[in-house]
Amino acid sequence: QRMRHFPQSKVEYILASHADPDVVASLNRWLVQTECKLVIPSLWSRFVPHFCTQNQPDRLVRVPDRGGILPLGDAYIAALPAHFLHSEGNFHFYDPVSKILFSGDLGASLVSNARAGQPVKDFEAHKARMRGFHRRYMVSNKILKLWVQMARQLPIDMIVPQHGAPIMGKQAIGDLFNWLEGLQCGIDLFDQRAYQLPSAEIDPISRQV
């Protein structure tokens, strides 16, 4: 099905924003069935053999922490630093021709399959579907602000996360940026209450047989 519109012989790159299984669990099939190269954060490149039947280091493109420009025909793809959103080594990928930013877990929303196919143009009505995920999986407001300051420099027509609905249009994208800049998340929300010794009386972990 994935080759219905594009022959596998033409696949040049597989872009891995980070090494979580929901990103790279199918990696072995891609490397076996195509001649592509894997673009992955340098930090996570040493984990690739855990997902593959063969070690093929010559097919790895290791992206340094600063990011970089990936040539693609007469154009290019930009690998943008997105560290700690949510992974320690993480990149987003920007296509300057379509002006689409592929944002990994940033911008993800918990929606039905049908809704995921409908671009969001009214962010205010959508953000409730994003709040819980971002508060837990994004590391801190400081990191969100640094990322937004970088992303505002790009002309972006659509932000496409790996989960949920894409966000389209200048107004909705601007509203997303404003929301992220003010969001308390991750370590902002933790204090000593999250780090207490468990009790056998009140914190039993059920045993499943």
Instruction: Tell me what pLDDT residue 169 has.
Output: 96
pLDDT in tens, 112-168: 888 888 999 999 989 999 999 999 999 999 999 999 999 999 999 999 999 999 999
Examine the pLDDT at 29 and tell me if it is beyond 80.
yes
pLDDT in tens, 134-143: 999 999 999 9
Report helix angle 170-181 to 141-151, nearest 10: 150
| Strand partners of residue 94 | 78, 101
165 versus 1: the higher-pLDDT residue is 165
pLDDT in tens, 35-77: 889 999 999 998 888 888 877 788 899 999 999 999 988 999 9
Instruction: Tell me what pLDDT residue 97 has.
Output: 97
- Give the pTM: 0.89
How would residue 209 be classed by pLDDT, with cut points 50, 70 and 90?
low
Examine the pLDDT at 1 and tell me if it is beyond 70.
no
Examine the pLDDT at 2 and tell me if it is beyond 70.
no
